[in-house]
Amino acid sequence: MSAPRAVLVGTMGAGKTTVGRLVAEALGVGFADSDHLVEERAGKSVQDVFVDDGEQAFRALERQVVAAALDSHDGVLSLGGGAVLDPATQALLAAHQVVFLRVGLADAVKRVGLGVGRPLLLGNVRSRVKQLLDERTPVYEGLARVVVETDGRTPQDVAAEVLAAITGGES
């Protein structure tokens, strides 16, 4: 069994995919994103899984791909914003180097734009992002070994802080 060097969590707009790719590149390891793993397994986009099969089916598939990736992926793993809500996933994450990329409401809304392709953002984007931040932030904080603030920072700055935290300053 191999384990990811780091597992990035946070709400949409936190920069998990962008920062994850930068960290993986700096470490010379692979990068995986749970949403892309779901899409590969389902053979369709996350949005189509939500629309065609419902959120419950998406979450079940997400739980499976996250468990498999935590067991076999030895690079940097980025989790979809809601993946941490599953109690089984939370239990699995306890053994891993979880990094919470914290983003505030204003930056999150700017980064996700109108929420195109984000099924949980249908309707008022700002109020929905606030609701997701309010619901999920305590879960992210509870799972994280490292918390990195992303507001007003470049992905490169955030990635450098993540790298320093997970390598003990040696990158």
Kindly report the pTM of this predicted structure.
0.89
CA 40-41-45 angle, to 5 degrees, is 55
The structural domains of the chain, with segments of one domain joined by +, span 6-165
Rounded distance, CA 61 to CA 44, Å?
A: 12
Out of 3.40.50.2300, 3.20.20.80, 3.40.50.11440, 3.40.50.300, select the CATH number for domain 6-165: 3.40.50.300
CA distance 70 to 1: 9
Other C-beta atoms within 10 Å of 109: how many? Answer: 21
Above 90 in pLDDT, residue 18? yes
Mean pLDDT across 16-36: 96
Reported as a pLDDT band with limits 50, 70 and 90, residue 123 is low
Give residue-wise pLDDT tens across range 56-81: 999 999 999 999 999 999 999 999 98
